[in-house]
């Protein structure tokens, strides 16, 4: 009996471990690296190749490298690898260029404030985004400009006031457009706009030709006075129109107009103020400082200008459209190196003799315009991808043009082209090395300049310098790339593939 029921088990069979070749490290290796003959061969070849590359690079950069020393003597040992003492000796120069050593704290403050303002902006969970962005876009550049150059700019204050007044008058003449919309606005602003235009034409003519008019006030040219009166009249007309629309509509516009004027004056006072900082001319800047100044200026300018150009190129207004097309095609049709040469050697020939504005400034303007043209085409790619139905739906809801763009088209279009935008940023960051051709020492330029130092000349000096420069560039570019992927993941909820 006992035997007849033996097949009925009274307890569970012991749980056996799975076969050793299916689990654990061995299982993973068998499944992924050696599943069959061909893959096994590939694995071995790849492993050998990796070993070869790593052993060479690490052997050169770490195991055989020279780590300490005071001069080239340490690095000319037979069979020695990288010459790191060279990097130690020159590193401060690579960061600050030839910025006076006792003034380097100013650069440090800029780096620190910039990083402290940028990092919270990049973290979506932190509050006060608007104020943070405003600080970074307006206050920080001003701070950096004053700290890095020393401030205390010598421009005539009277000339600046006259500039601000004219600028405010011109803006005031356009104000009705913001209150009444474009079509009605143009109708009501027309007399003011005509007056302002006449004033502007007179100003431009007075630069080109000597207009003989009897002097009314001592020391002030009569043409200038007439032009100023015309512009003021135009501005006043615009303001009257706005006031006529009632306090509800006019108050926010007037407030913005006034605070703009006050901000301009404040900027002028700050730029002219003597903070007691030693003047450091831009020819002494160099290294990472110049690379960052050029790259960040290019990046910050190119995005908004590029968006405007992209919208302009798709506009129905012929002047705006053909201006945008012309601008984009001209700047995109010229190599960056030509732009730089034009900015630093040709431009001074066209300007009136005696005007000598800074070489770095000229290069910054050149790069900003150049990269804007590229950015415009990237953004236009995104705009093309938005179906027309989206715009038509917005129009059906009665949204005006700018609201349609701001609320519906651009948020979608920009999200699509994040990889393209960051691509442009990264290539711009690396293109900054081209500024060496016009005699500015960016990071790459200053690394190469260090090779001329006889104190450090050896067969390993140049490879070590290039290796370190490559690492520094890689850190920045890889950082940008990773952040863009994070933004993509965060925004790309609908059409992720």
Partner 1 sequence: MKKLILSLLAAVLFAASAHATTLEDVKARGKLLCGVNPGLPGFADKGDDGAWVGFDVDFCRAVAAAVLGDAAQVDYVALTAQDRFEKLASGAVDVLARNTTWTMERETKFPLRFAGVNYMDGQGFLVARALGVNSVFTMSQAAICFLTGTTTEANVADFFRERQMVFTPVNFDSVNKVVAAYEAGQCDSYTADQSQLYAIRLKLKAPDDHIILPDVISKEPLGPMVRQGDEQWFNIVRWTLFALVNAEELDVKAASVEDLKASSKIPAVRRLLGLEGTFGVDLGLDADWAARAIRATGNYAEIFERNLGKDSPLGIERGINALWSAGGLLYVPPVR
- Closer CB to partner 1, residue 95 or residue 410? 95
Site for partner 1 (CB under 8 A): which residue of 11, 12, 78, 218? Answer: 78
First-to-last alpha carbon distance for the chain, in angstroms, is 66
Cβ proximity to partner 1, 71 vs 481, nearer residue: 71
Q: Which stretch binds partner 1 (CB under 8 A): 20-28, 86-94, 236-244, 259-267?
A: 86-94
Report if residue 288 touches partner 1, rule: CB under 8 A: no
The contact pattern for partner 1, residues 26-65, with x = CB under 8 A and - = no contact, is ----------------------------------------
CB within 8 Å of 289: residues ≥ 6 apart: 95, 96, 97, 99, 107, 148
Q: Is residue 101 a contact point for partner 1 (CB under 8 A)?
A: yes
Least distance in angstroms from the C-beta of 366 to partner 1: 19
Task: Specify the residue, 70 or 218, whose C-beta has the smaller distance to partner 1.
Answer: 70
Chain residues 109-138 in contact with partner 1, contact rule CB under 8 A? none
Q: In the complex with partner 1, which residue's Cβ is closer, 426 or 449? A: 449
Q: Kindly write out the interface string for residues 434-463 of this chain, putting x where it contacts partner 1 by CB under 8 A and - elsewhere.
A: -----x---------x-xxxxx-xxx-xx-
Scan residues 173-192 and list those touching partner 1 (CB under 8 A): none
Q: How far is the CB of 99 from partner 1 (least distance, A)?
A: 8
90 counts as binding partner 1 under rule CB under 8 A: yes
In the complex, what is the shortest distance from the CB of residue 247 to partner 1, in angstroms, rounded to a whole number? Answer: 60
- HSE-up (13 A, CA, CB side) for residue 166: 19
- Segment contacting partner 1 (CB under 8 A): 59-67, 88-96, 196-204, 314-322? 88-96
- The number of residues in the chain equals 497
**Interface size with partner 1, residues (CB under 8 A):** 21
Cα–Cα distances in angstroms (integers) from residue 494 to residues 378, 386, 390, 491, in the given order:
21, 14, 16, 8
- Which residue of 30, 33, 89, 418 would you call a contact of partner 1, by CB under 8 A? 89
CB 86 within 8 A of CB 464: yes
Cβ closest to partner 1, residue 71 vs residue 390: 71
Distance of alpha carbon 172 from the chain centroid? 31
Query: In whole angstroms, how close is the CB of 269 to partner 1 at the nearest point?
Result: 31
Q: Applying CB under 8 A, which part among 71-79, 334-342, 399-407, 486-494 lies near partner 1?
A: 71-79
Neighbour-count burial for 194-227, b at 16+ CB within 10 Å, e otherwise = ebbebbbebbeebeeeeeeeeeeeeeeeebbebb
Alpha-carbon gap, residue 432 to 407, rounded angstroms: 34
Q: Least separation, in Å, of the C-beta of 148 and partner 1?
A: 16
Residue 399 in contact with residue 425, Cβ under 8 Å?
Answer: no
Least distance in angstroms from the C-beta of 116 to partner 1? 28
Residue 440, CA atoms < 13 Å, CB-side half-sphere? 31
Is 359 a binder of partner 1 (CB under 8 A)?
Answer: no
Question: Does the protein bind partner 1 through residue 337 (CB under 8 A)?
Answer: no
Tokens 């007849």 label which residue?
4
Of positions 65, 84, 93, 195, contacts partner 1 by CB under 8 A: 93
Where do contacts with partner 1 occur on this chain (CB under 8 A)?
71-72, 76, 78, 89-90, 93, 98, 101, 439, 449, 451-455, 457-459, 461-462
């Amino acid at each position: 009996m006992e035997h007849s029921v033996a097949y009925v088990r009274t307890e569970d069979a012991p749980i056996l471990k799975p076969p050793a070749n299916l689990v654990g490290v061995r299982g993973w290796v068998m499944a992924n690296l050696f599943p069959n003959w061909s893959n096994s061969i590939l694995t071995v070849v790849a492993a050998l190749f990796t070993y070869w590359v790593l052993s060479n690079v690490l052997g050169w950069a770490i195991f055989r490298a020279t780590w300490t020393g005071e001069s080239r003597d340490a690095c000319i040992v037979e069979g020695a690898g990288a010459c790191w003492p060279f990097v130690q000796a020159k590193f401060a120069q690579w960061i600050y260029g030839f910025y006076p050593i006792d003034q380097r704290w100013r650069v440090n403050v800029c780096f620190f404030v910039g990083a402290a303002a940028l990092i919270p902006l990049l973290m979506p969970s932190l509050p006060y985004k608007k104020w943070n962005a405003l600080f970074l876009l307006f206050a920080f550049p001003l701070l950096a400009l004053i700290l890095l150059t020393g401030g205390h700019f010598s421009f005539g204050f009277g000339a600046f006031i006259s500039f601000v007044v004219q600028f405010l008058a011109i803006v005031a003449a356009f104000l009705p457009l913001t209150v009444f919309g474009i079509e009605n606005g143009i109708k009501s602003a027309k007399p003011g706009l005509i007056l302002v235009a006449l004033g502007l034409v007179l100003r431009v003519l007075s630069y080109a030709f000597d207009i003989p008019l009897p002097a009314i006030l001592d020391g002030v040219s009569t043409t200038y006075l007439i032009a100023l009166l015309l512009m003021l009249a135009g501005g006043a007309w615009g303001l009257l129109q706005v006031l006529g629309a009632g306090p509800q509509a006019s108050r926010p516009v007037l407030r913005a107009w006034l605070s703009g004027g006050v901000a301009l004056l404040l900027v002028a006072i700050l730029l002219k103020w003597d903070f007691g900082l030693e003047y450091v001319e831009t020819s002494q800047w160099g290294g990472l400082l110049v690379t960052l100044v050029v790259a960040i200026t290019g990046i910050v300018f190119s995005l908004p200008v590029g968006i405007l150009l992209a919208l302009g190129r798709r506009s129905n207004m012929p002047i705006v459209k053909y201006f945008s097309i012309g601008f984009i095609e001209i700047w995109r049709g010229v190599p960056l190196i030509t732009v730089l040469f034009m900015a630093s050697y040709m431009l001074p020939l066209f300007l009136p003799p005696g005007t000598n504005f800074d070489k770095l400034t000229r290069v910054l303007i050149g790069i900003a315009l150049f990269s804007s043209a590229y950015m415009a085409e990237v953004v236009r790619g995104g705009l093309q991808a938005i179906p027309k139905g989206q715009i038509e739906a917005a129009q059906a809801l009665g949204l005006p043009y700018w609201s349609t763009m701001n609320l519906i088209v651009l948020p979608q279009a920009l999200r699509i082209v994040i990889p393209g935008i960051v691509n442009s940023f990264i290539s711009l960051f690396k293109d900054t090395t081209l500024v060496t051709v016009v005699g500015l020492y960016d990071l790459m330029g200053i690394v190469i300049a260090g090779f001329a130092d006889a104190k450090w000349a050896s067969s390993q000096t140049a490879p070590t310098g290039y290796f370190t420069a490559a690492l520094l560039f890689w850190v920045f570019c890889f950082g940008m790339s990773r952040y863009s992927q994070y933004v993509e993941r965060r925004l790309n909820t609908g059409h992720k593939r």
